Amino acid sequence: MRDSVSQQRFAEAAERFERVAADHDRAVRAWDALEEAVGTRTATIRPALDDAGDAAVDPAARDAYEAAIDALVDAADDVPVGERREGTAPIAPDGTDERFAAADALAPGPTQRPRRPRRSRSSASASARS
C-alpha cells in the first residue's frame, strides 16, 4: 500500500514540476526540493534539469528531462517510510505531506501565468535546421 501511495504522490510532484519547467528559476528550486525529499543528488539528474528550459522545443532535451523524472521516482522508491536522510524532511508513515511539503510549496498556483504551449516535434526540428 505504501509503495502505491508513494509512487502516486511522487508522480503528482513530478507533474507539478513539469508545469513549472518553463520558468527555469522556479524549476531549479522545485527540483532541489524534490531531490531533498528523496535525499539524492546524482550526476545524471542535474544536467537534465539544466536542459529543462529547452525541453519544450528540443526532443532530445525533453527525453533527458523525462529520464530525469524517472530517475527521481526510482530514487523515491528506495526511501523507507519514517527514515530521515541527511538534509531531508522526515517521511510521514502514510507517505504524505512531510515528504512532499517543499515540492508542494513550489507548485504553481491558479494565479500564475500559464505555461507556453509546446511546439510540435516537426516545428522544433524545422527550427533546429534553419
Per-residue pLDDT of the chain (130 residues; tens, 9 = 90+): 556 777 777 877 777 676 655 556 656 666 676 666 665 555 555 555 555 555 555 666 666 667 777 667 666 665 554 444 444 444 445 544 444 455 555 554 443 444 444 444 444 445 455 4
Domain that holds residue 50: 2-129
With CA atoms as reference, report the closest residue to 38 among 78, 94, 93.
78
Distance CA 99, CA 95 (A): 7
Number of domains into which the chain is organized: 1
Alpha carbon of 123 to those of 21, 82, 93, 119, 129: distances in Å?
Answer: 20, 47, 47, 6, 10
